[in-house]
Amino acid sequence: MKKNKKIILLFVLVFLLTGCTKTLKDKDKKAVINEITGQNLTENILCRPTEEESIKLYKENGVDIDSLPYCSCDTKKIKEEVEVTLEDGTIQTETKEVDCKSFKITSGGYEGLWTTIFVKPLAYVILFFGRLTKNYGLGLIITTLLIRLIAYPITRKTAMQSEYMKKAQPEMEKIEKKYANKNQNDRDIMMQKSQEMMMVYKKYNVNPISGCLMSFLQLPLFIAFLEAINRVPAIFEGKFLVYHLGTTPLTGLKTGIWWYIVIILATAVSTYFSFKATRSDQIATNKEMERQQKMMTNMFSIMIIGMSFFMTTALNIYWVVSNLFTILQNLIVRRSSK
């Protein structure tokens, strides 16, 4: 019961701290959709869009994109169409050279704890590697791997719990058999059982709650990447291989672009094996707990696979890369522990 309360509290804290990605709506309060990508456009974008269709939609729906920085600047000066008021009061559009101000972590000022500390720095790093590699899909992949490498010392310890538990398992089973026929409602007996189990945990350096650590880390990371992708036009307007980063697989399939099924399959396969690897790292002290863990793994796998149809390609790519890292990490840990 206490564990469930902690999990609920964690979810509440994450969502309280997170910013708010606002969907761009027209005068009829309907979501504005880019017909080319099928994507619902975000109102509070962090930098300017570059595609003509996106620029047109943003201006038509009252977003002042001229006040925003550019996602990236290849040169200090760029040509831009600006409205100029003539002496007779008429307004005409002219092409002028203007200073190119690139997006920075501090652009737009303070927007709350979550956006300022997590979303903007993450968007900046993706843009940095995107400019470096000339592809924002690659920038997204490199950023994902970089974050997972930084977190590796923590997640490795989590993965090691599986190996510790394998050594402790015979003694844990003996304790279970010892108390199997005793009164499970007797508080003193159950306390004695818990103490014996804790002694085994301590002996083999097992931390009963560390197995859930990576699951807790995944949620805020997922939300941060979701917001960064949705709020940076350079990302959702970009392409990776044959895929448009801002298009959902469902939209791609509806328009007859069948290779989007590869993205769904990659998400499905990587999710299943990643969750399976994570499940094997978690501590199951009896068959019932093991059955529950297996059921939860299957349930979450099905949920993520269903969501993959509606997540942008960019977010699917992040998820696949993160899953592959988890699988590789667990293989390395298992081999090193032998």
In 184-201, which positions are buried (b, 16+ CB within 10 angstroms) versus exposed (e)?
eeeeeeeeebeebbeebb
Q: Is 90 helix (H, G, I), strand (E, B) or coil?
A: coil
| One-letter identity of residue 92 | Q
What is the Cα–Cα distance from 282 to 330, expressed in whole angstroms?
12
Largest CA distance in the chain: 97
What is the Cα–Cα distance from 233 to 48, expressed in whole angstroms?
7
pLDDT at 2: 47
pLDDT at 71: 87
Torsion angle of the four alpha carbons 326, 330, 333, 336, in this order, in degrees rounded to the nearest 10 = -120
pLDDT at 1: 44
pTM for this entry? 0.76
| One-letter identity of residue 180 | A
Separation of first and last alpha carbons in the chain: 36
Beta strands in the chain (DSSP E): 33-34, 39-40, 77-85, 91-99, 239-240, 243-244
pLDDT in tens, the chain (338 residues): 444 455 555 555 554 455 567 888 888 888 888 877 777 888 888 888 888 888 888 888 888 888 888 888 766 666 666 666 666 667 766 666 666 778 888 888 878 778 888 889 999 999 999 989 999 999 999 999 999 898 888 777 777 776 677 777 787 778 777 777 777 777 777 788 888 888 877 777 776 555 555 556 667 777 888 888 888 888 888 889 888 898 889 888 888 888 999 999 999 899 888 877 665 545 455 566 667 667 777 777 788 888 889 888 999 999 999 999 988 888 887 776 66
pLDDT at 278: 63
pLDDT at 14: 52
